[in-house]
Structure 1
Amino acid sequence: MPLGVIINSFSIFLGGIAGGLLGHLLPERFKTEIQLIFGLCAMAMGIPAVNGTVHLPAVILAVILGTSIGMAVHLEHRINRAAEWMQRPISNLFPKEQLALSHNEFVHRLVTIIVLFCASGTGIYGSLDAGMTGDHTVLIAKSVLDFFTAAIFACNLGYVVSMIAVPQFFIFLSLFLLAGIIFPLTTPEMVADFKSCGGILIIATSFRMIQVKQFPTADMIPAMVLVMPISWFWMTIILPLL
């Protein structure tokens, strides 16, 4: 049973509802500054993952190629449109919801947390680990941070944050079910490079969260698919030649 996946998605749903309900009670200064703190925490999660890199050239190549593919297929634009689509039913359910953000800023922030929740290396690895070993510890631990992250973002973005639990659930459930096929094909080095690639995405996302630089985090998602095959190719084909 995908217990960890269910708990993780449910924590985002509840966090989004809690933030939407209570956000108007919090002062704007608190909501702005606590978001900076969560961006800092996200960066702290990404840095140790990058430090665990085994084959750095493979990870860099995966990030460059993956981002290029994402930009070529306009992945971030497609996710932007999906984010706008997610907001429509929320607007119908809560027509009086007032958000103190411009449309562009709203979409940018929503895409940022979609990537954070749905494409984090920790979540993807936790889903694979749970499906292969039955150990849900990683996902359950992640759920605690995700609840508060969703609540804080929902203070500014509203109830739509809770809807991110839906695509996240299906992505992580698919990985959980495919774990029996994927995990035996990996090596510890490939997994470490995969986590490192996820760490780079998290760091890029944290820069968006603290509004320092708008990295194309959605366009970077294909790197997560490429990194383990490239790590294997580097380890088995390239390194013996050096």
Structure 2
Amino acid sequence: MALFGTIVNGICIIAGSLIGLFFTKIPERYKETVMHGIGLAVILIGLQMALQVDNIVIVLLSLLSGAIIGEFIHVEEGLNRLGGWIGSKFTTKDDNFSVAQGFVTASLIFVIGAMSVIGALDSGIRGDHEILITKGIIDGFVALVLTTTLGFGVIFSVLPVVIYQGSIALLATQIENWLPKPFLDGFITELTAVGGLMIVAIGLNLLKLTSIRIGNLLPSIITVGLVYYIYQLF
């Protein structure tokens, strides 16, 4: 079953978020310090991924093209509107921003990264769900902590996670018929580096050192494939 790992990942996020709701009343200083710890860990994960880069030019062009597309179509604004719309169904108007913030932050953390892509590919190509199950356990703990600081908007991040990883897993069942393995391996390496840099940006935002519009960088996840393909032609 190609979607088994994705389903487990989603269940872990929901479980972690629900458990986190019981710890929302802890003192603010605890939440702040815990969030700083998460931010530092997220930066470390991102750096480990980014340092796997084979060709920095591909990564740079992917980020530049993705940023231009993202700013043009206002991806970040769209994500915030989606989070606000979801929040409006469950909260008062004054709480919508916090719900949107929780949704967007958690979605970016859970969706961006090598484990999402590689895990989904493994589920689809080989029927091996170990990576996504491991990711699910990590996401569950992160969801728990994020919920204590950002509120229950975190739980809605399960939607983009399931859709994103599920789509990749289903496509992966046919991907070997379309792409040669050497190309696929190289693409995953560059995608990992691009995703890693965005994860570093998430960590910096969590530490409140920057206010990078990470959502507007998300198209880079797509443009890296095009840039890598053009690079291979030359």
Does the alignment reach a TM-score above 0.5? yes
Match of 1:90, SS?
Answer: coil
- Structure 2: give runs of 5+ residues left out of the alignment: none
1:140 CA displacement? 1.4
1:235 CA displacement? 2.8
1:231 alignment counterpart = 228
Corresponding position: 1:28 with 2:25: no
Question: Aligned letter for 1:220?
Answer: L
State the alpha-carbon separation in 2 of the partners of residues 107 and 83 from structure 1: 4
Match of 1:218, SS?
Answer: helix
2:212 alignment counterpart = 215
1:240 alignment counterpart = none
State the alpha-carbon separation in 1 of the partners of residues 173 and 226 from structure 2: 17
1:223 CA displacement? 0.3
Question: Aligned letter for 1:63?
Answer: L
Question: Aligned letter for 1:76?
Answer: E
**After TM superposition, where is structure 1 displaced by more than 6 Å over at least 4 residues in a row?**
none
1:87 alignment counterpart = 87
* Identity rate, percent: 24
1:11 alignment counterpart = 12
State the alpha-carbon separation in 2 of the partners of residues 17 and 90 from structure 1: 15
Q: How does 1:66-215 map to 2 (within 5 A)?
A: 66-91=66-91, 107-182=100-175, 185=179, 186-215=183-212
CA 1:119–1:42: 2 relative to 1, 3 Å: same
State the alpha-carbon separation in 2 of the partners of residues 231 and 206 from structure 1: 26
1:121 CA displacement? 3.2
Question: Aligned letter for 2:216?
Answer: D
1:109 CA displacement? 4.9
Question: Aligned letter for 1:61?
Answer: L
Match of 1:87, SS?
Answer: helix
Say what the alpha-carbon RMSD is for the aligned residues. 2.1
Question: Aligned letter for 2:187?
Answer: M
More deviation, 73-82/136-145: 136-145
Residues 67 and 223 in structure 1, CA contact (< 8 A), matched pair in contact too? yes
State the alpha-carbon separation in 1 of the partners of residues 11 and 48 from structure 2: 27
1:10 CA displacement? 0.9
State the alpha-carbon separation in 1 of the partners of residues 148 and 4 from structure 2: 28
Residues 49 and 196 in structure 1, CA contact (< 8 A), matched pair in contact too? yes
Return the TM-score normalized by structure 1.
Answer: 0.87
**Structure 1, residues 161-206: CA drift from partner, whole Å, max 9, x if none?**
1121122112211111011333551432221001111111111111
Residues 23 and 155 in structure 1, CA contact (< 8 A), matched pair in contact too? yes
2:49 alignment counterpart = 49
Residues 55 and 231 in structure 1, CA contact (< 8 A), matched pair in contact too? no
1:149 CA displacement? 1.1
Residues 35 and 149 in structure 2, CA contact (< 8 A), matched pair in contact too? no
**Structure 1, residues 188-241: CA drift from partner, whole Å, max 9, x if none?**
22210011111111111111111110111101111001112211321331xxxx
**Structure 1, residues 85-123: CA drift from partner, whole Å, max 9, x if none?**
12123327xx9xx97xxx656644542222112233321
Return the TM-score normalized by structure 2.
Answer: 0.90
- Structure 1: give runs of 5+ residues left out of the alignment: 238-242
